[in-house]
Amino acid sequence: MSKPMARIHPRIRLVLAAIALVVFAFAAPVAAQAPHPDGPNAAAVKEQQLLQQNYLIQGRGTIADTRSYVVEQPLGRVWRLIQEVWLRWIGAVVILGVATLFAVLYFTLGPTRIEAGRSDRKIPRFKSFERVTHWMIAMSFTILALTGLNITFGRVLLLPLVGPQAFSWWSLLAKYAHAYASFPFVLGVVVLFLLWAKANIPTAVDIRWFKAGGGMVKHVHPPADKFNGGQKAYFWVAMLGTVGVAVSGVFLLFPFYWTNVMGMQISQLIHALIAVAFIALIIAHIYIGAVGLEGGWEAMASGEVDLNWAKQHHSLWVEREFGQGRNVAPPAGATPTPVA
């Protein structure tokens, strides 16, 4: 009854002592985690510290939507500032700037004429498949540009004119049109890439073409192949631009599949900035194609250009076409001479 410990066998006591030692040895790190002198609450995470460490505060949530685990992302305010101020200024200055530049060009220099005057002979330039593809791109780009501009400028320019209900209805339509017009646009650009990439590889001729000012300087017509240096530069810039808007656009079409909220913000900004540059580029393209060069429009309309126009702007291409005996339409009223 008395002194129970004394009755335990000495060897068992030794084993117990050894176990106690091991337990205390492992327990030591736990003992090292002494409570904070001011209690556990003083060690709590603080909002301001977390915001200094990272661009967002993220934790663990209990609902399926993992986006909701981001509790705070102050970058949203930066994105808002860019949307509200910078993007509108950049868009307006770039697009109106380029439009003004070409308007000035038209009224000062005027369109470049066919210097030798029109001949009565035509040379085929673009096949119907090429023209159909081109106009498919042109139509879808117009839809994309107008509906895209509506997102950035519609609230400022159109909403006060048509009222909230009509503007909301149009914007909803525009949103879906933008999402679906992207497919014929990208498809068309891929087709034109396959058709025209080879003819757009830069050569030494193009360097000379650029050095001569591309014929913008009057009465100088540097030799050019089917596509001149300027057209080749335009081709590759447009290809890069398409890749840019298409890739960033896919991120926007499938929101949050591959990225978080900052990724979505960046995708939208890249998409919008490239789009602004693209619209400016297309304004230049439309001016040169439809207004700036007499006879140029026909290349994409009927597909046949005036022979004198072709000699003036694409001399090497004409020589090659003739050399290969391609079908050049004879003068009106001419009768074919039978070959003996």
Partner 1 sequence: MAQMKFLCDADRCIECNACVTSCKNENEVPWGINRRRVVTIDDGEPGERSVSMACMHCTDAPCAAVCPVNCFYTTDDGVVLHNKDLCIGCGYCFYACPFGAPQYPRVGNFGSRGKMDKCTFCAGGPEQDGSPIEYEKYGANRLAEGKLPICAEVCSTRALLAGDGTVVAQIYQDRVARRGYGSGAWGWQTAYNETVETGTAPHRGD
In the chain, the N- to C-terminal Cα span, in Å, equals 140
| Least separation in angstroms between CB 258 and partner 1 | 13
Largest CA distance in the chain: 141
| Least separation in angstroms between CB 62 and partner 1 | 7
Paired strand residues for 122:
306
Query: Does 34 sit near partner 1 (CB under 8 A)?
Result: no
Query: Does 65 sit near partner 1 (CB under 8 A)?
Result: yes
CA distance 299 to 124: 8
Residues 210-249, one symbol each (x = binds partner 1 by CB under 8 A, - = not), give ----------------------------------------
| Least separation in angstroms between CB 83 and partner 1 | 5
Q: Which two tokens stand for residue 90?
A: 């950049």
Pick out residues in 246-275 that bind partner 1 (CB under 8 A): 253-256, 261, 264-265, 268
Which position among 10, 38, 333, 338 is part of the footprint of partner 1 (CB under 8 A)?
38
**Residues whose CB is less than 8 angstroms from the CB of residue 247 and which lie 6 or more positions away in sequence, other chains included:** none
Query: Does 37 sit near partner 1 (CB under 8 A)?
Result: yes
Which position among 25, 30, 34, 44 is part of the footprint of partner 1 (CB under 8 A)?
44
CA distance 313 to 319: 12
| Least separation in angstroms between CB 43 and partner 1 | 4
CA distance 15 to 128: 97
In this complex, which beta carbon is closest to partner 1, that of residue 72 or of residue 115? 72
Q: What angle do CA 147, 151, 154 make, to 5 degrees?
A: 90
| Least separation in angstroms between CB 118 and partner 1 | 48
CA distance 269 to 323: 50
CA distance 146 to 18: 82
Please state the φ and ψ torsions of residue 24, each to the nearest 5 degrees: -70, -35
Query: Does 2 sit near partner 1 (CB under 8 A)?
Result: no
Q: Which residues sit at the interface with partner 1, rule CB under 8 A?
A: 33, 36-48, 50, 57-65, 67-77, 79-80, 83-84, 150-152, 154-155, 159, 164-165, 167-168, 171-172, 175-176, 178-180, 253-256, 261, 264-265, 268
